[in-house]
């Protein structure tokens, strides 16, 4: 059993990119599903689908690559908030990732969203991770 499902998800995506896999299987939770939706909307993954096997829910994420050399779209994923050290940010102090070339995923009272959307709504929350 994994205690930090977000770190597990990010590590599986990072490892699959290193060996240039097309798809990666991730145990499905509400937060991993919300993160996958954001990654798809922002263009970091091709698509994802949910399925059940042996009464366990999984997400199949189709990774995105550029060109014939298959360079990953995701160049770096960096976890910020961890179970032992939570990182919170107010709406005025939300992080900017590479001058808005990347995104930060924020867990707010209105759900999981990007730093840009949270700033637009004027709400802060827990900074989960950065991606670019």
Q: Which domains does the chain have, with CATH numbers?
A: 1-74 (3.30.1370.30), 76-132 (3.30.1490.10)
Residue 2 is predicted with a pLDDT of: 80
Q: What is the mean pLDDT of each run of 10 residues along the chain (132 residues)?
A: 91 96 97 98 97 96 95 95 96 91 96 97 97 95
CA nearest neighbour of 103 among 78, 125, 70:
78
Q: What span, in angstroms and rounded, lies between the C-alpha atoms of 129 and 93?
A: 15
Residue 26 is predicted with a pLDDT of: 97
In this structure, the strands spanning 88-89 and 125-131 are antiparallel
Residue 85 is predicted with a pLDDT of: 96
Residue 118 is predicted with a pLDDT of: 97
Which two tokens mark 77?
């994923």
Q: What span, in angstroms and rounded, lies between the C-alpha atoms of 90 and 46?
A: 31
DSSP code of residue 119: H
């Amino acid at each position: 059993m994994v205690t930090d499902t977000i770190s597990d998800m990010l590590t599986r995506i990072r490892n699959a990119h290193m060996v240039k896999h097309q798809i990666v299987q991730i145990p499905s939770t509400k937060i991993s599903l919300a993160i996958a939706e954001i990654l798809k909307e922002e263009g970091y993954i091709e698509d994802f689908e949910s399925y059940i096997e042996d009464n366990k829910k999984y997400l199949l994420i189709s990774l995105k690559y550029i060109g014939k050399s298959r360079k990953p779209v995701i160049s770096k994923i960096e976890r910020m908030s961890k179970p032992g050290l939570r990182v919170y940010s107010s709406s005025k102090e939300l992080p900017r990732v590479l001058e808005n070339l990347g995104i930060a995923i924020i867990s707010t009272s209105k759900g999981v969203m990007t730093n840009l959307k949270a700033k637009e709504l004027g709400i802060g929350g827990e900074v989960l991770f950065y991606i670019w």
